[in-house]
Structures are given as C-alpha cells and as structure tokens.
Amino acid sequence: MGTRSTTQDSSLTLVANSPTQFDVIVVGGGNAALCAALAARKLTPSVLLLERAPAHMRGGNTRHTRNIRCASVGNGDRSQEYRVEEFLDDLIGVTGGPANLDLAKFAIQQSQSLPQWMSEHGILWQPPLAGTLHLGRTNRWFLGGGKSLVNAYYDALARMGIAVRYDADVVDLLIEDGEFRAVTLKIGDDHEAIRGRAVVVAAGGFEANIEWLKRYWGDAADNFLVRGTPYNDGTMLANLITKDAKQIGDPKAFHAIAVDGRAPKFDGGIVTRLDSIPFGVVVNRFGQRFYDEGEDIWPKRYAIWGRLIAEQPEQIAYSIVDAKTIRCFLPPVYKPYQADSLEDLAGLLKLEAAPFLETIQNFNRATAGNLESTLERLDGVKTRGLTPPKSNWALPIDRAPFYGLPLRPGITFTYMGVEVDSNARVIQSGGRPFSNVYAAGEIMSGNILTKGYLAGFGLTIGSVFGRLAGKEAASHAGR
C-alpha cells in the first residue's frame, strides 16, 4: 500500500521532541481538506494543512472539477428549483441507494448553504458551460474550473493565517487508545512529528495506486487510466485501516468514465473524456457490441461506461460514429481515426474486419434508417430485434467517412473508505468512533456512494463533510 509506518517507539520519541502543536491538523489539500481548514479556523487560530503535492499540483482531484451539485429553491422560480427530495431521488436512482441514508440526506440538506459559503470564501461563479446538457438547474459552476476554486481557497487560507505545508508527505497517524496524538511526515530519509489535538483526514481515495487496484481487478488495472492526481495512492486510507478504522464500501466501486485510450496514465482530467458514445455504437476488441449506447440521457449514463469497459477483454472498446454525427459532440482532444470505409477503419483500429463489419451491418439493419434524431431528449429512435438494443438515437452507421475512438476506463475516484459517524468522526472496527479523528471527501465517500455517480456530487460530499469535520475537530480541540 505504499505506507511505511514508523514503529511506535520511534514515533513517540519524535512526538516528545516535537516543538509544534496545532489544535487542528488537516491531512490533504483538495476541496474537502480546504473546507475543513476554513471551517476549523472559525473556531481556532491554530490550524495546519498538510498538502502532499508540490504547490503547482496542489488541490488533489479538485483541480479537475468544474461544478458542484446543490439543492436550491431556485430563487423562487419553480422551474429552477432543485428540491432536496428530487436530489435524493436522483441519488437513489443512479446509485441504487446510499450506504448510509442519514449521511446522504445530511449532505443534500447541507448542500443548499454551500454556494453562499463558497462565495464568502472567494469563489466566483459562471453560467453553466455550453454543451453541458441538463446540468444548469442541479449544478453550480465556478468560474475557471477546479484549479481556480483551489487557488481561491488557498488564498483564503493565507488571508486567514492558516499554516500550509506543501510536499508534506504524511506517512503515519500516531493514535493511542483511540486518541490521535500526532502526524509523522517523511522528509527525505528523516521523519518529523507534529502534534495535534485533532486531525481531519481528507487525503483522497486510492485510485492512483495501481498495485492496490490490482488486488481487486487483477492485471486489468494496468489498463486503467487515472484521470486525476497521481498523489492519491491511498497512504492515509491504508494507515487508518491499520489503525483499526472500520472499512466501508465495495473495493471495486469507483466513479469511472470512458476516456480516450491515448490519454496520459495520470492527470489527463476533463479533456480526455469522450461524449461520442450515444451518437454511434461501441464495440469491444472482438468487434462486438456489449451495451445499450442509448439507454438514457448521457448525463445519467456517462458514469457507467468506465466500469463497462473495465469489464471488457483487455479493457478497451471503440466508439464508432459516421459523418452524420462526428460534429455532434464536444470536439475530442485527440483526432479520431478516420477512414472512407468500415473495412479500412477496422484496419486502423486493428480490429478483425469480419466480425466488426457484421456487427455494424446487423446494427444498421435493426435501425429504422436515418430518421430525425436529437440528443436533447430521449427520442425513441431505437433498434428492433437486436441484442443488446440501442434504445434511443439509433441511426445507422452508413455515411462515410467513418470514425473510431479508442476508449479506456478512466478512473476518477474510488469509493471504498473509512466509516464515519454523523459528526464525521472515523469509526473503529468495534463500532466506537475515535475521539478526535475525522474524515472528509473521497476517503469517506463510500458512506454515501455505492455504485454509479451523480455529476458534481463528489464536491458536495467533500464540501459538506469538510466543513463538518473542520468544525467538529476545532470544537473538540477547544474542549
């Protein structure tokens, strides 16, 4: 797991020698950690944030975000309101039900107050980005995207006098009798201990740790692309589990989407995602279709394709579209493979031609021809007598040139984490919470997310539980 914990003895020596103590130590540097630090600062001036990344990579996966899902009353405009009940229904519909319903309800309830709180801490807003269907009402968009949000929060930290250390590689939490005492940082070959009265662990999931993923996925994990920060290797999650924190969530559960197979192994972010899937068909490396590409509107389905491709042979698939639809989706960052015939396209994609052509022919025959079709809604233009079907936007692939886009699973973040109580305190395997260990963000998202994903909800969880954990940690430290 990449964790090199120091022995208890040497940790104690370090702690005894440590000249520094903070009321609240926040381990992590993304949205949840930043919210925790800001909330803690309201109650105590003694707050330290430890960001493992160097300054230019600060912010964890938050760097790549662009909106946050919030319930709202729509300023009295009924058509713009996003009621708490509807939010919960959306969550249950997409994920099949949260692990802890009370925590999910709490997150949704609290989400209403987030936009104002964020504004107060320097976040600027903008209208929904063009080309993002259906998210205008449910999600709020911050100006400039996640890195701007991260910059604004770090500026707020500086204004409020919150100590920040970059390149702060926390390798161990010293916990005695269920009580946190200090963090241990690795600095070169040395270790440094910093004492704290309470700790908030907001250090992300383990999605960037391919070896850890392999335990559940086998060698398939070698073909996963990690969309976000390479620093989320789960060191803190592993450390908490060795300290008897209670694990929660399916280790194979994650938020993963289809990304271009040519994307970087880490940190490719938003630009490598492909929105072409509903406009054509998707085949695996044997040239066969394997899932209904038109099952539902794209914002409700984009998040299932990572896992679908992860389960295909060699974790690769190909989105095939034709001249009719190539300009219908957001322009991809890598040039699609292009050929004047489907045979040639199969050659370019290194697919065996015969089964691929048969798949396309069968698909085309099952369509009702080139009807009017629009992605703005479920248009009911579907295949007949085909397995798997395509339930909407089923236009034949028949107009040259033809295009192919290689797809790989792009992991955004993992869900398995540590269980928390309603105060964001981490629970021990026996069921009792640690007295002063709190968790927020991805590392505890498994308390709510089980499978599937709702766009912008990761930041909601991070912000709500970050604020809660920071506040609770600070008030514990003040006792």
Which residues are near other proteins by CB under 8 A? 56, 63-64, 66, 124, 126-127, 129-131, 141, 143-148, 151, 155, 264, 267, 269-272, 327-333, 374-376
CB of 453 to other proteins, least distance (A): 19
CA distances from 140 to 112, 234, 326, 370, 407 (A): 11, 29, 29, 37, 29
Judged by beta carbon, residue 93 or residue 331, the one nearer other proteins is 331
Residue at 235: amino acid letter: T
Burial of 50 (0-12, 13-18, 19+ CB in 10 A): buried
Tell me the two tokens of residue 438. Answer: 């709190």
CB of 461 to other proteins, least distance (A): 21
147, containing H or E segment: helix 146-159
Judged by beta carbon, residue 62 or residue 450, the one nearer other proteins is 62
Pairwise CA distance, residues 105 & 454, whole Å: 15
CB of 144 to other proteins, least distance (A): 4
Distance of CA 216 to the CA centre of its chain: 19
Judged by beta carbon, residue 12 or residue 323, the one nearer other proteins is 323
Pairing of β 67-69 and β 169-176: unpaired
Pairwise CA distance, residues 460 & 114, whole Å: 8
Judged by beta carbon, residue 228 or residue 433, the one nearer other proteins is 228
Judged by beta carbon, residue 272 or residue 445, the one nearer other proteins is 272
Q: Classify 466 as helix, strand or coil.
A: helix
CB of 324 to other proteins, least distance (A): 9
CB of 392 to other proteins, least distance (A): 14
Pairwise CA distance, residues 273 & 259, whole Å: 4
CB of 167 to other proteins, least distance (A): 15
CB of 69 to other proteins, least distance (A): 17
CB of 57 to other proteins, least distance (A): 9
Question: Are 467 and 34 within 8 A, CB to CB?
Answer: no
Smallest CA-to-CA distance from 32 within 71, 3, 72, 61 is with 61
Judged by beta carbon, residue 19 or residue 127, the one nearer other proteins is 127
Smallest CA-to-CA distance from 363 within 289, 278, 276 is with 289
Judged by beta carbon, residue 253 or residue 320, the one nearer other proteins is 320
* Dihedral angle sign, alpha carbons of residues 435, 439, 443, 446: positive
388: preceding bond cis by omega (within 30 degrees): yes
Tell me the two tokens of residue 193. Answer: 């201990």
CB of 267 to other proteins, least distance (A): 7
Judged by beta carbon, residue 47 or residue 259, the one nearer other proteins is 259
Judged by beta carbon, residue 290 or residue 334, the one nearer other proteins is 334
